[in-house]
Amino acid sequence: MVHGHSHDGAPCSGHHGEESGSRVPNPQDMHALRAAGVDVSSLPNIPTAPRDLEEARTKSFQFWSTQPVPHMDERVPADVNCAIEENIPLDKVRAEPFSLPAGFRWSNVDLNDADQLNELYNLLTKNYVEDDDSMFRFDYSADFLKWALQVPGHRQEWHCGVRADSNNRLLAFIGAVPQTVRVYDKTVKMVEINFLCVHKNLRSRRVAPVLIREITRRVNVTGVFQAAFTAGIVIPKPVSICRYYHRSLNPRKLIDVRFSHLSAKMTMARTIKLYKLPEETATRSLREMTRADVPQVFKLLTNSLKQYSLAPVYTDEEELAHALVPRKTVVYSYVAENHNGKITDLISFYSLPSTVMGNANHKTIFAAYLYYYVAGSVSVKQLINDALILAHREKFDVFNALDLMHNDKIFADLKFGKGDGNLQYYLYNWKCADMKPSQIGLVLQ
C-alpha cells in the first residue's frame, strides 16, 4: 500500500526515489525553496521524475505501474470513490521483514530516548536535503520531529530505522503516522509517511525501495491499506495540484541571504515599507489557544472541515490537542471568542526553519507555514493577515501557504508571491474524481 511519498516512501508525503534511485527530499522542503524563488535545479540528488503533467504523460513509470493507483491519463468519474484493490486478509500480509543488504539491520527509533532522537535529527540534518552546493538546509528540530511522528495512536515500529551492524550507526529512516481522512463522502483510515532519509554513503545500495516496502508491510499488518501523501514530482496520478505562495516578513534578511531578491525598480527601503505590517491584530479578541479551548476548537474545526472534499477527520479531542495546542518553536495556534466566551475563529501555523549556508550575518531563516484555520466572525483575509502579524511578532522571516482551502482568494491582497513549483496531492489505493485546490482541506507537515 504505502509506497510512495516523500516525505517518505510509502505513499509518502513527498518525492519518491523509487523511480530514479536517488534520495528523496521532503517535497515540502523543496517547494518552500521554490516558493522563495530559489533555483533548486542545482541541488544534488533531486529525483529526475517529471514535475509537470505533460512530461509525466510521456514517461514510463516502472514502479508505479505495479501499484494500485490511477493511470496517468485515467479520468475517474464523479460517482467513483473507492479502493482500487480490496484489503489483503491480515493472515495473508507478509509476516517477515524485507531483507536488507548484508551488514545492515532493522532498528526502531525510540523518539523518547534523547540519544536516538538526536541520531535521527543528525541523520536528517546532514542527509535529508544535501548541503554541498545548496544555500539552505532544512532544520527539523527534535521537538518538531516528536510532534510530527508521535501523534496519538502512533506505533514505535512505524519509526523504522536501518543501522550498520559494524558500529550501530543510524543510516536510514522512514516514518508513518496514522491519519483518518475523508475523501468526498467516505471516511478512510490511512497513514501519512514522513522523513524517508538514506545516508548519502548508502544510497548506491538501493535501501530506499526496501524501506518503502518494509513500512508498507508494517502498516498493512495493522489493517491499513490506504494513504494520503504529497510530492513535488508528478507520478500516477495526482488527485489535486497545489502551489506554494510566500509572504516576506523580514525582507531585508531574506534579500541579504539571497532567499529572495529586490524586484526591478525597487529599493530596500521601499521593499521594507511594502511588507510592513501593523503592530496589532485587527481581530482584537485574538489570543493564544490553550488546552482548555480544545473542546470548543474540536467542534469548530470539525464542522469547518466538512466543506472540503479532502480533509482530516479528528477522531477525538486528544488528536486535535496534539495537532494544535501551541508548542513554542513548533506550532502556533490562536483563537478569538465573542463576549459570551464562545470561540468563533481559529488560526494556526507551524515552524520549519532553514540553516543558511555560508552567510556571515545570518545562520537561520525562520519560516512559518499556514496550518488550519476557521474564519467564523471575521473574513479569511483579516484572519490570515492577523497570522502574518503574529508570525512577525514571533520573529519569523517568511510566511508560506498553499493555494488550498480559501487561501488563493487573499494572496494578492496580502502581498504573497507565487512560487514556481507545484505540490501534488495523492491517494494510494484509492481513486476518485480530481479536486481543485480549493477543495483540499488537508495540510501535511
For the chain, the domains span 27-240, 245-419
291 phi, psi to nearest 5 deg: -60, -35
What CATH architecture does domain 245-419 belong to?
3-Layer(aba) Sandwich (3.40)
Question: Under 8 Å CB-to-CB from 37, ≥6 apart: which residues?
Answer: 259, 260, 261, 417, 419, 420
The vertex-55 CA angle with 49 and 57, nearest 5°, equals 100
- Cell output for 270: 521601499
Residues in the chain, pLDDT under 70: 1-49, 129-134
How many helices and strands (H and E) does the chain possess?
10, 18
Distance CA 430, CA 226 (A): 7
Contact (Cβ atoms closer than 8 angstroms) between residue 357 and residue 364: no
Distance CA 343, CA 60 (A): 51
The closest alpha carbon to 131, from 45, 205, 64, belongs to: 45
Distance CA 54, CA 142 (A): 39
Contact (Cβ atoms closer than 8 angstroms) between residue 255 and residue 356: no
Contact (Cβ atoms closer than 8 angstroms) between residue 163 and residue 169: yes
pLDDT attached to residue 34: 43
pLDDT attached to residue 425: 94
Distance CA 356, CA 49 (A): 27
pLDDT attached to residue 134: 63
> 27-240 domain in CATH 3.50.50.60?
no
Distance CA 53, CA 57 (A): 6
- Per residue in 191-239, pLDDT tens? 998 888 889 888 777 787 788 889 989 999 999 999 888 877 788 999 9
Domains 27-240 and 245-419 share a fold: yes
Distance CA 281, CA 257 (A): 29
3-state secondary structure of 317: helix
Distance CA 117, CA 111 (A): 5
Distance CA 416, CA 381 (A): 12
Distance CA 362, CA 272 (A): 18
